Copies of this chain bind each other. A is one copy, B any other.
Amino acid sequence: MRVLVVNVNTTRSITDSIGAQAASAAAPGTEIVPLTPAFGAESVEGNYESYLAAVAVMEAVRAYPEPYDAVIQAGYGEHGREGLQELLDVPVVDITEAAASTAQFLGRTYSVVTSLDRTVPLIEERLRAAGLHTRCASVRASGLAVLALEQDEKAAVDAIAEQAARAVAEDRAEVVCLGCGGMSGLTERVVERTGVPVVDGVTAAVKIAESLVALGLSTSKIRTYAPPRPKTIRNWPPPPAR
């Protein structure tokens, strides 16, 4: 089976690292295809950039020329999953929801540790919209921007592990979700520092996508995610960048 894993950022090195993370969890026979959007922010950290990423991700998927079996939207707390579900017949998995859903099988409560403080509300909103908030103990920010995570891994681990440990001690979290695509790969070291299970959204999403495909399940088309009605879409998509 082929699974598209779409980065929300336009930075290719993040796509590469998300792709590698996804591949590390893929079952034999699962081909991971990482995609980078053709337009948008180098790192998505707020609503404007996230809305832009939402449409850029949709266009990236629509432009992909080969068949595929599932799509993973690899952005934490980002907009857009519902649009993909309308457009596609195959299952769509958002990593925010994949991580939370997986965490709920591991402990009574979970916390998310994300990058910047301003990202916290976006994640909270996505969890609430997905009905995955009642067991969320907290969403905490490490204070590190997405691109900073790439540049100083030692500092990243420290800042994230610090917040993860406080989530466990102060917010009574029993599981920690790493709330940023760029955090993939830090899982093991955060486990060591906190003693609780740590869920990475990308790998969790891969297993969920594989499971849905294996069970022959895909998005319900009866109401919310029915295909768009036939109509005129003006001046869209934009001409390809040169």
Contact = CB atoms under 8 A, between A and B. Distances in A.
A117 interface: yes
Interface in A115-147: 117-118, 120-122, 125, 128-135, 145
B108 A218 contact: no
B223 A118 contact: yes
A224 B196 CA distance: 12
B42 A234 contact: yes
A203 B208 CA distance: 13
B129 A41 contact: no
Interface residues of A, number: 89
A41 B225 contact: no
B197 A41 contact: no
A234 to B, nearest CB: 5
Contacts of A27: 27, 214
Given A196-B222, A234-B10, A239-B238, A121 B106 contact: no
18 contacts: A25-B215, A39-B236, A42-B233, A45-B229, A46-B226, A51-B55, A102-B215, A104-B131, A106-B217, A108-B223, A121-B223, A128-B129, A129-B129, A174-B225, A197-B217, A207-B207, A234-B241, A235-B238
